Amino acid sequence: MNSPHVPLVDDASFDDHVTSSPVPVLVDFGAAWCGPCRALEPVLASIAASHADRVRVVQVDVDASPALAARFKVRGVPTIVALAGGAEVGRHAGVTSAETLLRLLPNAGARA
């Protein structure tokens, strides 16, 4: 559930990676046992690699960090929560395209 471009964050590292980020963040809430989550990983890795200057992408394992999942009211996986300035600006549940995920973010651009 981890790629070199998409770090796995937990309760202890979430604020360092997400809340204080100078760029918008896509937070991927998923689980190792989740097939659709694994299907979404290449899409997220592509966004992280090709838009590194405009957006940060991180993963949260809901089994390892249930408090974060509860904090963001995640009801199913995968759920992508878009944050800007530490506040939620968008959300998508399920597998989707890079273009759809980028549209959740302000000023990140929709080119995938």
Cα angle 11, 15, 18 (rounded to 5 degrees) comes to 110
Instruction: Write the single-letter amino acid at 103.
Output: R
Residues designated catalytic? 34, 37
Tokens for 84, please give them: 């800007």
C-alpha dist (Å) from residue 90 to 1, 6, 35, 60, 80: 22, 19, 23, 17, 8
Q: Which residues contact 25 (CB under 8 A, 6 or more apart)?
A: 17, 18, 55, 56, 57, 58, 82, 83, 84
